[in-house]
């Protein structure tokens, strides 16, 4: 379009059925605005968004040589894209279009004042016309996408997402902070409701992802920094030293056998011990041990070196240093998972960590596991005896105003599964499940619940204990009010299992800070839309998989991981992204680099750069800019303007409305 | 060949702009030699009739100083326009209303009542207030009458050029006079000054604009190297047109905004207020109560005089009549 071409505006007033037309006199409005300078044609129509409605615009653009279009209808959020596409089909730049909202902003809120509503609608349309006169064509920029993804978190979500992306033919870097991938799922003995062995279904995937030619595994590695934007992220990783040369180690385990020093095992949640040089767990991937300098005699006192002496491949390297790794990736999946709510600290009434025989559900998984600290025997941690009476308490911390408001989404069925563990290992045991509501929404969960409910020695008590106490003989007891029978029941269990609530894994907080992605009030990652865009974040090119977004069971986690992976694959298959056109634009002729805007940008899109003459100016990275307009509002000199919403355009609207 | 004709016409001014001409030093003689002075009450013994007698449009360059605040200065502004070939709004008052423009916070009657009746140092039992026409012993006395609002020159007549500043920076005065005398004036509407803000001229080190506390000038001795704004002092530099070589910040005094809004800005005060409120307390913003936000903002003493010291009449804010005296 030529700059000084005569402005010819077409105005279309939508009835929206009766939504608008029953309140606003649309005929009168069309007639009134037809008198406004530059308006060439003004029409009203029943449904502008319909195909015939859009066709009116397209034909008028051609017939009346329109170069601006104004539609007065619903909210731009609803139909701006619809009309922009119509305008584009008519042969105009889609941003030479302006919308006036005379439904939400007018007819819906002024139902009873028809005359005044019509006047207001006319003013709103006139304001849109005033802005339309000053509209300039805008364009979207194309940014190439590096065909390589970063997946943060090596649990089931990260593994599944990595495999999906790798299988589509794209390179993946999978980062895990622990020495082995596997995550929390690797700790489980069986998975509900089918009771498959968790390791049996997980380890093949762990091995597959580690051997996949398109996947590079970075275990025992943290994400230190991420720069850039969708398509071009620059990532800095820090690989922690294992003190074992990965290229030489065969995973034979001789070093571990010979190591004389022990420490509590992180993987066994403190229930068992490990050596100072250890595998995360027997099926660890990669099967390479790591030395924990805090418990290693060599690091503490300079002696021992047993592992070094006995290693057949000379793989021990006490001089290993942290290694910085730099990567360029086009997209990122956050799959950092969850941690258990700190019940010991937050809920002392349950006596967790105070009484040895109060354990969490995840700890019970380790007791049941054949590779766990008791080789699969359920025993009381205090005296190693088989518990004959077990209380399982659901909703510990979850659905509690004082703690976590949300449901953990797997505690109920996990608790039911745990009851099954007990009675199948100790057939004469009695199990009491203290619950508030039983929620079994997943596929096959209700059937599983039905099945377990039929066990005579598994009893359900509707209520939560007030406080777990200890008698003089060391036995635990608590009172619980059973709302089903209206009685207070006193239980003296040998073992108490707490189905604790969950919180985001602490690494998420760090990564969210680096990426500046939105975090919800519960601390989990905030998705872009709870229903329609559940895997996307506020940062373009960063996706969510699994419990990082909110509590999830394994099927949901795997499904979301697949969804996140397919979003990444879609991005990479296309090979480019288009930026939004309503970005901030800084006029370098006016900018004096005062620096007001830079700290305000929530997306880190503004940097201050020195020009050749040594003077400072602000620069916008349009790949990162979301067009929020904060910099434009704050700019004291008016050098920063938001394209499509510049001062001139907005003031033209204000002047029209206040005339 | 005739020398170009120059007139310097005062409105509501303090004559500070005249002094800025004298700052030209010896060059002022060159300027005076090069022109015919048609009117300059501060320096030349010419009467208003002399000016009125000249044909319309016959004065090559008219510098109008001061704001337009009463019917006399309004008349002078119109006269200046009629006689001028090129009319320059000379100084902050002519350009934006300046310090006299701050009168727009009150009404005309309110100001008169305050000055002649209510002020503590005044004894005026009859409540006499000056008025346009007074008859005394058969003699009619007239004095100028206040306008309802103080205006900038361009709110009264068309203005060809703007030379802001309080007073206008010497460099820009020289630039404007040289251009006018050599007949090489820039396109009409030009503002003599920089396209950028005072920050562009300022040599101070800028690091981080996040501030949590506003300090008044007497509360600290500013670090002479670092940006004054970043030290918590409200410096109008970011919202003010440059071209003054940042003379005030250079000597550790915050910019007060006498060069007016930047070319990209519609409202100097609103721009600065918006910038300040955007960065103040940025670190502690989330989860802050309204009361705490109020406290942050209440640190600004005299917001109007701070943000609109020179430009209130040119603000896009409209006056609401009868709200306060």
H/E/C letters for each residue in A335-371? Answer: CCCEEECCHHHHCHHHCECCECCEEEHHHHHHHHCCC
**Which pLDDT band, with edges at 50, 70 and 90, does B19 fall under?**
confident
**What would the pLDDT profile of A201-248 be if each residue is shown by its tens digit?**
999 999 999 999 999 999 999 999 998 889 999 999 999 999 999 999
Instruction: Examine residue A653 and state whether it is found in any structural domain, yes or no.
Output: no
Q: What three-state secondary structure class fits A612?
A: coil
Residue A569: predicted pLDDT: 98
Q: Do both B142 and B154 map to the same domain?
A: no
Q: How many residues does chain A have?
A: 659
From chain B, the residues in CB contact with A593 under 8 A are 199-200, 206
Q: Do both A151 and A81 map to the same domain?
A: no
The complex's ipTM works out to: 0.88
Backbone dihedral angles phi then psi of residue A406, each to the nearest 5 degrees:
-95, 165
Residue A2: predicted pLDDT: 47
Residue B289: predicted pLDDT: 79
Q: How far apart (Å, rounded) are the C-alpha atoms in residues A66 and A353?
A: 75
Which residues have a Cβ under 8 Å from the Cβ of B198 and sit 6 or more positions away?
A592, B236, B237, B238, B240, B241, B242, B244, B246, B249, B255, B259
Place of tokens 């002020």: B119
Instruction: Examine residue A37 and state whether it is found in any structural domain, yes or no.
Output: yes
**A596/B208 CB distance under 8 A:** no
- The alpha-carbon gap from A138 to the nearest alpha carbon of chain B, in Å, equals 20
With beta carbons less than 8 A apart as the criterion, state whether A491 and A480 touch.
Answer: yes
Q: Do both A548 and A621 map to the same domain?
A: no
Of A615, A630, A638, the CB nearest to B264: A638
Closest CA to A399 of A549, A523, A547, A502: A502
Which residues have a Cβ under 8 Å from the Cβ of B249 and sit 6 or more positions away?
B198, B202, B204, B228, B235, B237, B255
Domain count for chain A, please give it. 5
From chain A, the residues in CB contact with B229 under 8 A are 594
Q: How far apart (Å, rounded) are the C-alpha atoms in residues A627 and A617?
A: 19
Ramachandran area for residue A35 (φ above 0: left; ψ -120 to 50: alpha; else beta): alpha
pLDDT over threshold 80, residue B323: no
Enter the DSSP assignment of A277: E
Query: In whole numbers, what is the pLDDT of chain B averaged over residues?
Result: 91
Q: Do both A355 and A471 map to the same domain?
A: yes
**B195/A638 CB distance under 8 A:** no
Residue B320: predicted pLDDT: 65
Q: Do both B49 and B112 map to the same domain?
A: no
Which residues have a Cβ under 8 Å from the Cβ of B244 and sit 6 or more positions away?
B165, B169, B172, B193, B198, B201, B258, B259
Q: Do both B57 and B158 map to the same domain?
A: yes
On the question of a cis peptide bond just before residue A193, with omega within 30 degrees of 0, the verdict is yes
Q: Do both B153 and B115 map to the same domain?
A: no
Q: How far apart (Å, rounded) are the C-alpha atoms in residues B324 and B113?
A: 12
- The alpha-carbon gap from A617 to the nearest alpha carbon of chain B, in Å, equals 9
Closest CA to A560 of A354, A276, A361, A337: A337
Instruction: Examine residue A492 and state whether it is found in any structural domain, yes or no.
Output: yes
**Contacts with A, B 55-94, CB within 8 Å:** none
pLDDT over threshold 70, residue B1: no
Q: Do both B206 and B260 map to the same domain?
A: yes
Q: Do both A326 and A316 map to the same domain?
A: no
Residue where one domain finishes, among candidates A578, A596, A630: A578
Q: Do both B128 and B157 map to the same domain?
A: no
Instruction: Examine residue B256 and state whether it is found in any structural domain, yes or no.
Output: yes
Instruction: Examine residue A1 and state whether it is found in any structural domain, yes or no.
Output: no
Instruction: Examine residue B323 and state whether it is found in any structural domain, yes or no.
Output: no
Instruction: Examine residue B142 and state whether it is found in any structural domain, yes or no.
Output: yes
Instruction: Examine residue B34 and state whether it is found in any structural domain, yes or no.
Output: yes
Q: Do both A388 and A475 map to the same domain?
A: yes
Q: How far apart (Å, rounded) are the C-alpha atoms in residues A85 and B64?
A: 54
Across the beta sheet with B84-90, the strand order is B36-39, B5-10, B59-65, B84-90, B161-163
Q: Where are the alpha helices (DSSP H) in A43-181?
A: 51-63, 76-89, 114-133, 156-167
Q: How far apart (Å, rounded) are the C-alpha atoms in residues A64 and A523?
A: 55
Residue A1: predicted pLDDT: 47
Residue A270: predicted pLDDT: 87
**What would the pLDDT profile of A89-123 be if each residue is shown by its tens digit?**
999 999 999 999 999 999 999 999 999 999 999 99
Instruction: Examine residue B259 and state whether it is found in any structural domain, yes or no.
Output: yes
Instruction: Examine residue A477 and state whether it is found in any structural domain, yes or no.
Output: yes
Give, for A196, the enclosing helix (H) or strand (E): strand A196-197
From chain A, the residues in CB contact with B274 under 8 A are 633-634, 636
**What would the pLDDT profile of B246-281 be if each residue is shown by its tens digit?**
999 999 999 999 999 999 998 999 999 999 988 888
Place of tokens 């007990």: A422
Instruction: Examine residue B286 and state whether it is found in any structural domain, yes or no.
Output: yes
With beta carbons less than 8 A apart as the criterion, state whether A28 and A119 touch.
Answer: no
Instruction: Examine residue B188 and state whether it is found in any structural domain, yes or no.
Output: no
| CA A24 to the chain's CA centroid | 43
Six-digit token string for A278: 């250890």
Which residues of A lie inside 8 Å of B (Cβ-Cβ)? 587, 589-596, 598-600, 608, 615-616, 630, 633-639, 641, 647, 651
Q: Do both B16 and B84 map to the same domain?
A: yes
* pTM for this entry: 0.70
Q: Where are the alpha helices (DSSP H) in A506-592?
A: 506-515, 554-574
Q: How far apart (Å, rounded) are the C-alpha atoms in residues B198 and A637?
A: 10
Six-digit token string for B322: 């009868």
Residue B76's domain is classified under what CATH number? Answer: 3.40.50.700
Q: Do both A366 and A477 map to the same domain?
A: yes
Domain count for chain B, please give it. 3
Of A587, A593, A630, the CB nearest to B264: A587
Closest CA to A206 of A102, A281, A277: A281
Q: Do both B117 and B213 map to the same domain?
A: no
Backbone dihedral angles phi then psi of residue A654, each to the nearest 5 degrees:
-60, -45
Closest CA to A439 of A405, A414, A472, A456: A414
Q: Do both B228 and B270 map to the same domain?
A: yes
Q: Do both A355 and A493 map to the same domain?
A: yes
Q: Do both A517 and A477 map to the same domain?
A: no
Instruction: Examine residue B57 and state whether it is found in any structural domain, yes or no.
Output: yes
In terms of residue numbers, what domain contains A520? 142-240+322-337+505-578
Q: Do both B19 and B160 map to the same domain?
A: yes
Q: Do both B243 and B274 map to the same domain?
A: yes
**Which pLDDT band, with edges at 50, 70 and 90, does B325 fall under?**
very low
Q: Do both B88 and B155 map to the same domain?
A: yes
- Interchain contact B281–A (C-beta under 8 A): no
Backbone dihedral angles phi then psi of residue A599, each to the nearest 5 degrees:
-70, -15
Those residues of chain A that have pLDDT short of 70 are: 1-4
The residue of chain B nearest to residue A658, with distances taken between CA atoms, is B318
Q: Do both A344 and A442 map to the same domain?
A: yes
Closest CA to A72 of A42, A112, A38, A108: A42
Q: Do both A191 and A65 map to the same domain?
A: no
Instruction: Examine residue A652 and state whether it is found in any structural domain, yes or no.
Output: no
**What would the pLDDT profile of B124-146 be if each residue is shown by its tens digit?**
989 899 889 988 899 999 999 99
Geometric angle at alpha carbon B313, from B312 and B318, rounded to 5°:
90
**What would the pLDDT profile of A549-561 be if each residue is shown by its tens digit?**
999 999 999 999 9
**What would the pLDDT profile of B68-112 be if each residue is shown by its tens digit?**
999 999 999 999 999 999 999 999 999 999 999 999 988 888 899
Q: What 3 state SS string does A56-68 have?
A: HHHHHHHHCCCCE
Residue A439: predicted pLDDT: 95
Q: How far apart (Å, rounded) are the C-alpha atoms in residues A152 and A473?
A: 48
Mutation target for A interface from B194, B209, B287, B308: give the one with most A CBs within 10 A. Answer: B209
Please count the residue pairs, one from chain A and one from chain B, whose beta carbons lie less than 8 angstroms apart.
88
Mutation target for B interface from A518, A589, A596, A610: give the one with most B CBs within 10 A. Answer: A596
**A599/B272 CB distance under 8 A:** no
Residue where one domain finishes, among candidates A108, A133, A158: A133
Q: Do both A346 and A493 map to the same domain?
A: yes
> What does DSSP say about strands A338-340 and A171-175: parallel, antiparallel, or unpaired?
unpaired
Q: Do both A297 and A412 map to the same domain?
A: no
Q: How far apart (Å, rounded) are the C-alpha atoms in residues A360 and A128?
A: 61
Closest CA to A393 of A480, A288, A310: A480
Instruction: Examine residue A535 and state whether it is found in any structural domain, yes or no.
Output: yes
Residue A359's domain is classified under what CATH number? Answer: 3.50.50.60
- Strand partners for A462: A435
Roughly what angle, to the nearest 10 degrees, separates helices A156-167 and A198-211?
40
Closest CA to A438 of A392, A474, A470: A392
Enter the DSSP assignment of A262: E
In terms of residue numbers, what domain contains B73? 5-100+149-181
Instruction: Examine residue A591 and state whether it is found in any structural domain, yes or no.
Output: yes
């Amino acid at each position: 379009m030529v700059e000084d071409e005569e402005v010819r505006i077409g105005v279309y007033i939508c009835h929206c059925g009766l939504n608008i037309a029953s309140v606003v006199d649309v005929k009168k409005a069309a007639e009134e605005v037809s008198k406004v300078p530059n308006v060439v044609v003004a029409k009203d129509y029943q449904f502008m968004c319909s195909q015939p409605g859009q066709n009116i615009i397209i034909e008028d653009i051609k017939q009346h040589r329109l170069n601006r279009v104004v539609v007065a209808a619903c909210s731009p959020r609803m139909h701006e894209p619809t009309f922009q596409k119509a305008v584009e089909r008519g042969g105009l730049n889609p941003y030479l279009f302006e919308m006036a909202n005379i439904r939400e902003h007018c007819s819906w809120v002024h139902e009873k004042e028809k005359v005044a509503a019509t006047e207001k609608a006319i003013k709103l349309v006139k304001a849109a016309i005033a802005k339309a006169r000053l509209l300039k064509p805008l364009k979207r920029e194309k940014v190439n996408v590096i065909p390589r993804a970063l997946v943060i978190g090596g649990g089931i979500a990260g593994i599944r997402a990595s495999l999906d992306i790798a299988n589509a033919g794209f390179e993946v870097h999978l980062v895990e902070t622990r020495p082995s991938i596997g995550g929390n799922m690797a700790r489980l003995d069986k998975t509900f409701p089918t009771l498959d062995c968790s390791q049996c279904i997980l380890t093949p995937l762990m091995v597959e992802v580690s051997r996949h030619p398109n996947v590079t595994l970075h275990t025992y590695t943290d994400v230190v920094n991420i720069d850039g934007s969708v398509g071009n992220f620059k990532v800095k990783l820090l690989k922690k030293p294992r003190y074992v040369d990965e290229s030489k180690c065969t995973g034979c385990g001789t070093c571990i056998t010979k190591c004389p020093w022990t420490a509590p095992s992180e993987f066994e949640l403190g229930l068992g011990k490990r050596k100072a040089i250890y595998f995360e767990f027997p099926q660890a991937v990669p099967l390479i041990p790591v030395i924990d300098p805090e418990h290693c005699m060599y690091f503490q006192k300079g002696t021992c070196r047993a592992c070094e002496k006995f290693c057949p491949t000379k793989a021990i390297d006490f001089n290993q240093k942290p290694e910085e790794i730099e990567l360029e990736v086009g997209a990122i999946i956050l799959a950092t998972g969850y941690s258990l709510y700190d019940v010991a600290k937050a809920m002392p009434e349950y006596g967790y960590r105070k009484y040895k025989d109060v354990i969490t559900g995840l700890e019970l998984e380790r007791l049941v596991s054949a590779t766990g600290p008791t080789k699969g025997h359920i025993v009381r941690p205090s005296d190693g005896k088989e518990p004959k009476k077990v209380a399982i308490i659901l909703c510990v911390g979850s659905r509690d105003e004082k703690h976590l408001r949300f449901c953990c989404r797997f505690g109920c069925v996990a608790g039911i599964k745990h009851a099954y563990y007990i009675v199948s290992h100790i057939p004469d045991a009695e199990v009491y499940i203290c619950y508030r509501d039983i929620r079994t929404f997943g596929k096959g969960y209700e059937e599983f619940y039905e099945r377990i409910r039929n066990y005579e020695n598994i009893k359900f008590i509707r209520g939560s204990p007030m406080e777990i106490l200890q008698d003089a003989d060391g036995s635990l007891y608590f009172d619980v009010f059973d709302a089903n029978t209206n009685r207070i029941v006193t239980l003296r269990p040998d073992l108490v299992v707490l189905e604790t609530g969950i919180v985001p894994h602490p690494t998420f907080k760090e990564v969210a800070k680096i990426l500046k992605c939105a975090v919800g009030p519960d601390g989990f990652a905030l998705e872009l839309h709870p229903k329609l865009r559940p895997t996307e974040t506020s940062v373009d090119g960063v996706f969510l998989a699994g419990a990082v977004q909110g509590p999830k069971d394994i099927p949901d986690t795997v499904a979301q991981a697949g969804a996140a992976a397919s979003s990444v694959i879609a991005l990479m298959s296309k090979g480019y992204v288009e930026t939004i056109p309503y970005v901030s634009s800084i006029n370098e002729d006016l900018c004096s680099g005062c620096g007001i805007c830079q700290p305000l940008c929530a997306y880190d899109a503004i940097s201050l750069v020195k020009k050749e003459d040594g003077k400072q100016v602000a620069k916008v990275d349009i790949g990162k800019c979301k067009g929020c307009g904060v910099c434009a509002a704050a700019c004291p000199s008016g050098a920063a303007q938001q394209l499509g919403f510049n001062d001139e355009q907005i003031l033209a609207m204000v002047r029209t409305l206040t005339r | 060949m005739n020398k170009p004709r120059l007139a310097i016409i005062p409105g509501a001014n303090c004559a500070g702009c005249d002094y800025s001409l004298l700052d030209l030093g010896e060059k002022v003689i060159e300027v005076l030699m090069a022109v015919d002075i048609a009117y300059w009450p501060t320096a030349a013994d010419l009467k208003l009739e002399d000016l009125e007698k000249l044909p319309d449009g016959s004065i090559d360059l008219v510098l109008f100083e001061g704001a337009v605040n009463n019917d006399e200065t309004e008349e002078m502004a119109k006269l200046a326009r009629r006689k001028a070939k090129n009319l320059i709004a000379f100084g902050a008052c002519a350009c934006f209303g300046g310090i006299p423009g701050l009168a727009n916070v009150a009404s005309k009657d309110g100001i008169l009542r305050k000055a002649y009746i209510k002020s503590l140092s005044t004894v005026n039992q009859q409540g006499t207030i000056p008025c346009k026409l007074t008859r005394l012993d058969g003699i009619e006395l007239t004095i100028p009458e206040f306008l309802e609002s103080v205006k900038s020159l361009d709110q009264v007549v068309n203005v060809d050029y703007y030379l802001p500043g309080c007073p206008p920076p010497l460099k820009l005065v020289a630039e404007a006079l040289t251009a006018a005398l050599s007949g090489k004036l820039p396109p009409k509407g030009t503002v003599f000054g920089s396209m950028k803000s005072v920050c562009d001229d300022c040599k101070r080190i800028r690091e981080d604009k996040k501030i949590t506390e506003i300090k008044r000038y007497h509360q600290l001795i500013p670090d002479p190297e670092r940006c004054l704004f970043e030290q918590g002092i409200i410096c109008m530099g970011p919202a003010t047109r440059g071209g003054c070589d940042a003379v005030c910040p250079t000597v550790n005094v915050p910019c007060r905004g006498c060069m007016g809004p930047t070319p990209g800005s519609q409202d100097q005060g609103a721009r600065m207020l918006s910038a300040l409120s955007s960065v103040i307390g940025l670190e502690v913003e989330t989860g802050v109560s309204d009361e705490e936000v109020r406290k942050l903002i209440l640190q600004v003493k005299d917001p109007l005089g701070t943000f609109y010291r020179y430009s209130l009449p040119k603000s896009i804010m409209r006056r609401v009549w009868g709200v306060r005296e």
